[in-house]
Amino acid sequence: MDLRTPSTSRFALLLLFFWGGFAVIEAFMVPYLANIGFSERQVGFVISAFFLVSIGSQPLWGYAADRTDGHRWIIVIAMLVALLSMLVLRGSGATFGLVLVSALVYSLTAGSMPGLLDSWIMQISDGGVPINYGVARGFGSLGFAVAAMTLGFVLERFGLPLMFVIYAVFSVAVISLVVTMRVPQLAPSARAIPDNVQMAFGSPIRAVLSNGPYLMFLSSAFLVLLGARAATTFMPLRFYELGGTNVHVGWAQAVKAAGEIPFMFLSALVLRKVTPRVLLSGSMTLIVVRLVLMRLAPSAAMLVAVQVVQGMAIGFLLPAAVHYINRIAPQEHRSFFQTLAPSISFGLATVVGSSVGGVLVEWCGLDALYTVAPMVAGMGVILFAGSLVSGRRRRSS
């Protein structure tokens, strides 16, 4: 296998470094902010900012990629600006305004890239290059797991500020891999916009609003991830409440991410047996189960163990969602559809979950948050399952 071509192994390495860097921010930003003296409410607002701009910027980057086929350079520029923004955040001390602005810039750039990376992989795969998305994304989870597990020990010993240097190293690796990626000339059938399609700015919005299955998926995923992201944002505080340390925080993120890997590897095989919609419904249900177990966990060690369930849930959910969207989206808007989905299900859900969760924790305590979260996620599961039943009835009538 020629690693100079966009093959599974090449993208696996790229996603390994990208999600490894993502783990630095995801797992340890809350402890860092708490360490420099931010209140729970301030922490909630800053974490919301890390996802706020991406709600709009992800689909805009997808629209730009659909129009230009410029995935490569959008990713490179975004990662470079994100690197600089994190260095600014580190140098800002405890100045809330500068920290907030840095988080917003990160949201606009690196925080908006997951969906664009997915759409780039799917576009090249549709063009005839053999890429197993599940395997490539599994290595992304491996990078997240190894980074989170290792950094838990490293940062506990050398201090949380070291996380910014480590993030810079991961970002440089991603930029280098993207720049050196050799992408073949795509066949006309795999181009983002066919020659006979003229795409005005409003056309992708109209395509979304007229696509019932996609709208139902967005609504359901938002509710499920709203509960999940609120619980994940304040999981470090839950560990501290149960007597845990940053080592437990790192291990929890590692167990969660490592648990995704075998199921992502298996996703291609499973999707030959069941439809993406069925797999999505099952994985959403497992997310609710994980949230209930997080509420009931009596110790830091048990809270780490609970993350195994999340591994199975996300390990199947992410590949199923990418394949489902690729199947139901119009060819000329696939990058837009792929990037809009995480902007809603992860971006908007995290903004709402982190900000409202921060207020809820400050007013009512962590137990209240971990009681409400599974209820909200459960509503999403019921909505999506209901859409499957009604869809079957319409087809049979």
Read off the pLDDT of residues 243-270 as tens digits, 9 standing for 90 and up. Answer: 988 788 878 877 877 788 888 888 878 8
Whole-number pLDDT of residue 197:
46
| Residue 138 dihedral angles phi and psi, to the nearest 5° | -60, -40
Share of the chain above pLDDT 70, in %: 91
Helices H, strands E: what count in the chain? 17, 0
pLDDT in tens, 273-317: 888 888 999 999 999 999 999 999 999 999 999 988 988 898 899
As a 3-state breakdown, the chain gives helix, strand, coil percent values, each rounded to 5, of 85, 0, 15
| Residue closest to 32 by CA, chosen among 89, 110, 77 | 89
DSSP 380: H
Tell me, what amino acid is at 5?
A: T
Domains of the chain by start residue, with CATH? 8-183+203-388 (1.20.1250.20)
Q: Alpha carbon of 351 to those of 24, 274, 347: distances in Å?
A: 19, 33, 6
Three-point CA angle 145, 322, 151, nearest 5°: 15
Q: What is the CA radius of gyration of the chain?
A: 20
Tell me, what amino acid is at 323?
A: H
Please determine, for residue 353, whether its predicted confidence score (pLDDT) is greater than 60. Answer: yes
How confident is the model over 333-338, as a mean pLDDT? 85
Per-chain mean pLDDT for the chain: 84
Q: Which residues of 285-302 are buried (b: 16+ CB within 10 A; e: fewer)?
A: bbbbbbbbbbbebeebee
User: Which has more confidence, 3 or 149?
Assistant: 149
Whole-number pLDDT of residue 202:
63
Please determine, for residue 11, whether its predicted confidence score (pLDDT) is greater than 70. Answer: yes
Please determine, for residue 193, whether its predicted confidence score (pLDDT) is greater than 60. Answer: no
pLDDT grade for 26, boundaries at 50, 70 and 90: confident
Q: How far apart, in whole angstroms, are the C-alpha atoms of residue 134 and residue 118?
A: 11
Token pair listed for 88: 């600014």
Q: How far apart, in whole angstroms, are the C-alpha atoms of residue 52 and residue 106?
A: 10
Contact, 239 vs 294, CB < 8 A? Answer: no
Q: How far apart, in whole angstroms, are the C-alpha atoms of residue 187 and residue 286?
A: 39
Q: Which residues contact 322 (CB under 8 A, 6 or more apart)?
A: 118, 122, 133, 137, 338
pLDDT grade for 3, boundaries at 50, 70 and 90: very low
Whole-number pLDDT of residue 2:
38
pLDDT grade for 183, boundaries at 50, 70 and 90: low
| Residue closest to 238 by CA, chosen among 387, 394, 370 | 370
Whole-number pLDDT of residue 195:
46
Q: How far apart, in whole angstroms, are the C-alpha atoms of residue 46 and residue 32?
A: 12
Question: Terminal CA-to-CA distance of the chain, rounded, Å?
Answer: 49
Token pair listed for 294: 């997080």
Contact, 351 vs 52, CB < 8 A? Answer: yes
8-35 and 133-158 are packed helices; what angle lies between their axes, rounded to 10 degrees? Answer: 30
pLDDT in tens, 32-74: 888 888 887 788 788 778 877 878 888 889 888 888 888 899 9
Q: How far apart, in whole angstroms, are the C-alpha atoms of residue 202 and residue 307?
A: 41
